[in-house]
Structure 1
Amino acid sequence: MNKTIEVTTNKPTSLVAVSSLSKRDTVISILIIGLLFFIFGFVSWVNAILIPYFKIACELTHFKAYLVTFAFYISYFFMSVPASFFLKKVGFKKGMMFGFWTMAVGAFIFVPAAYTRTYEIFLIGLFTIGVGLAILQTAANPYITVLGPKERAAQRISIMGICNKGAGILAPIIFAAVILKANDTELFTQLATMGEAEKNTALDALIRRVIVPYTCIGVVLLGLGLLVRYSPLPDINTEQETAEVALANSDKTSILQFPHLILGAFAIFLHVGTQVIAIDTIIGYANSMHIDLMEAKVFPSYTLFVTICGYILGIIFIPKFISQVNTLRLFTLMGAVFTLFILFAKGQVSFLGHTSDVSIWFVVLLGLANSLVWAGIWPLALDGLGRFTKIGASVMIMGLCGNAILPLFYGYFADAYDVRTAYWVLFPCYLYLVFYAFRGHRIRSWK
């Protein structure tokens, strides 16, 4: 018997069961969550252009430049578990409103940071934006995972991925169009020959270009908070249990008693780190091949476009032609192979108007390898958690701090060796992801 039961302890009466939603309610919910993932993507992937931009404007090393991703994503480590309790207390939609408003505060912090050209204040702003995103991600990811049949979760997550990465394609291009000018290549060349006072004046003018776009972003985020708060999005119960799951979990008292969840959270930690390295380092890698910033700015969009192609393949083929778990196995293996090509492939190639070392196109192809890993890990890690689903999701979201930490390792090795050798950081990450895909997700006891 596979009867569904409700866990009602400490739950607001406004929560509804997924099974009670009509097809129309489900479609509306998916569209609204898709909008949220678009916002996540736009705000997150603009970092790909902020890193080289701050590196020039604030005169940073590779390591210090990657503190952009550290400040942005380390907030997930600190905020994910508190966010789950916060959402349980105030409700799904009200909590998401506060998440958007927190992001807006972070965007507004860019204004004083730009006026003083103080990198540390920019990092505070990025951390604050990350806090807001942690609240939103803690709500949205388990929501979309349970919003329909379990075997089609990867399909739904792939649709969200298209929204996220589609915004990621647009964000660097739009942001670069706003803050970069046609004659900036000449300016960047001249900085090395300028006197201290002249250079400071030029850099002050350069950094203040972020004021208008981030003020606009802050205003939009305030409006989106109100929009979601009063939207028809239902507060669904993400912690329903079947009788079988309830019986299996009857002796469980802690989320730490679910090895497949803990191992999955570490897999997310490594996966998101590899993903952000592939996107946020590619401009610097292109610069090492003497491709200037004005031309290299499009490379993150190439990587994200390939990622979207992977999502489309997932929507078409999962689960009709290939299961979620076999897809995860295939794409993690692909990531390990592409990493070796980045490190060892030789030769020049002309493609899409760029003449470069062939290895940079394998960095682009990491976008394909990474595309269906997130969608594969989430359903496996949350499987069978029942009443522990919400806290389990927050542990998974904590894993997003991999975006903060792994790029620092890349930056350290890029300074110590070179930007190509630093891609060795990726290889052990993909090996662990292969382990989780084949074995780790099946471990249900620490014994």
Structure 2
Amino acid sequence: LLNTVVNPMLNLLGGGGKRGNQLNMIGGTFNSLAGTLTPMFVGALIGELTKESDFADVNMVLYIAMAVFAVAFIVLALVPIKDPEMGRVTAATKFEHSPWNFRHFVLGAIGIFIYVGIEVGIPGTLNFYLSDTTENGAGLLANAAAIGGLVAGTYWFLMLIGRIVGGAIASKVSSKVMMIVVSCVGMVLILAAMLLGKQVTMSMPVFTGDGFGMETVPVSAVLLVLCGLCTSVMWSCIFNLATEGLGKYTAAASGIFMMMVVGGGVLPLVQNAIADSSLGYMFSYVVPLLGLAYLLYYALVGCKNVNEDIPV
């Protein structure tokens, strides 16, 4: 619900275009930063879990969570934030159409569905691949599950780095150009990973939560982890492109976008079903590969607003 409100607000405050995308990217950076630090912070507060651990041990965490919501409420209530759409959309405003009447939005909503599936599917299947000690897995015998978790965690850490970099350059690079570049790079990385398989290995730095350590993994795993840099900026870019020119329909469009994150539960299931078949883990990455091909199409062609005749 918070994202449903915050995403269009940041885009509107930035005036859409590059500036709107930059603000969304910066917002995503804080989102990723909190997602990276909060589990470590909560773990430090709770301490080691034992048989004697009780629900009361997490009371401090719950109090902190309530305090965060209280501070957010006070800030939003007291700080004047001018909505550029305020005054144009009133109770008397007529909505003759809906976001579904805009082709570029419909294709963008499909893009978000696919994107979230890609974002979740790449590290999720990679974790299973590295943790699998059978001949179908990556060939890691010692601490396979631990290494798989660390490598997958590094993917999410790279998403944080990507959003920081994306926020810095978003005012100079358009959402369309950024989407084209990251989609192409992501496709190259996945295709290379599929072709290399597990024959070639290398040592890669992995984020452990306390710092970085070195682990020996297939080169294909490294290439898939690097995809985190590509997926990091896609949400903001797709949102920016799909809501451009929607005017009074932007709020409704944002709500639809948040429903489309269900792709993060659907596409990974398809990918894992392929991975569990005789085709294997690496071939399952054809799912995110085709997804990136669609996102490239959207950035090149599908994002164009062909319904400018609809009053907004």
Structure-2 residue corresponding to 1:336: 187
Per the alignment, residue 364 of structure 1 pairs with 225
* Contact 1:176–1:297 (8 Å) recurs in 2: no
Q: How many residues align?
A: 283
Per the alignment, residue 295 of structure 2 pairs with 433
User: Is it true that 1:239 corresponds to 2:100 in the alignment?
Assistant: no
Q: Contact 1:168–1:304 (CA<8 Å) still a contact in 2?
A: no
1:176 to partner: Cα distance = 7.6
- Aligned with residue 152 of structure 2, among 291, 297, 300: 300
The 1:274/1:235 distance shift into structure 2, 3 A limit, reads: same
1:408-423, aligned counterparts within 5 Å? 408-417=269-278, 418-423=280-285
Identity %: 26
Partner of 1:310: 162
- What is the CA distance between 1:233 and its match in structure 2? 4.3
- Assess if the C-alpha contact under 8 Å between 1:238 and 1:390 holds in 2: no
Gaps of 5+ in 2: 133-137, 206-213
Report the aligned-residue RMSD: 3.3
The 8 Å contact of residues 172 and 297 in structure 1, kept in 2 or not, is answered as no
- TM-superposed CA distance for 1:178, in Å, is 8.7
- Does the 8 Å CA contact 2:14/2:21 hold for their aligned counterparts? no
Counterpart residue number, 2:211: none
Q: Larger helix proportion, structure 1 or 2?
A: 1
- The reply to whether residue 154 of structure 1 matches residue 16 of structure 2 is no
Matched, 1:424 2:268: no
Does residue 267 of structure 2 align to residue 392 of structure 1? no
Contact 2:131/2:147, CA 8 A, preserved across alignment: no
1:142 aligns with 2:19: no
Whole-angstrom distance in 2 between the partners of 1:333 and 1:252: 38
Q: Which runs of 5+ in 1 are unaligned?
A: 1-134, 182-204, 243-248
Q: Distance in 2 between matches of 1:293 and 1:211?
A: 28
Paired residue secondary structure (1:237): coil
**Cα offset for 1:266?**
0.9
Q: Deviations over 1:135-191 (max 9, x none)?
A: 11211111111122322122112212221222333356567889998xxxxxxxxxx
Compared with structure 1, are the counterparts of its residues 267 and 145 closer, same or farther at alpha carbon in structure 2 (3 Å cutoff)? same
Task: Report deviation, 1:306.
Answer: 2.1
Change (3 A) 1:146 1:251: closer
Partner residue, 2:208: none
Partner SS state of residue 297, structure 1: helix
**1:70-128 deviation digits (Å, cap 9, x = unpaired):** xxxxxxxxxxxxxxxxxxxxxxxxxxxxxxxxxxxxxxxxxxxxxxxxxxxxxxxxxxx
Q: Indicate conservation of the 8 Å contact 1:275/1:370, yes or no.
A: yes
Contact preservation (8 Å) 1:172, 1:300? no
**What's the TM-score, normalizing by structure 2?**
0.78
With over 3 angstroms needed to count, the CA separation of the structure-2 counterparts of 1:341 and 1:177, relative to structure 1, is farther
Aligned equivalent of 2:209: none
Q: Supply the distance in 1 between the matched residues of 2:56 and 2:272 (Cα, whole angstroms).
A: 29
Determine which of 108, 111, 131 is the counterpart of 1:264: 108
CA distance in 2, matches of 1:176, 1:295: 20
User: Distance between the aligned counterparts of 1:171 and 1:295, measured in 2?
Assistant: 21
CA distance in 2, matches of 1:141, 1:210: 38
Shift in Å at residue 210 of structure 1? 9.8
Aligned in 2, Cα 1:421/1:163: closer, same or farther, shift over 3 Å? same
SS of alignment partner, residue 298 of structure 1: helix
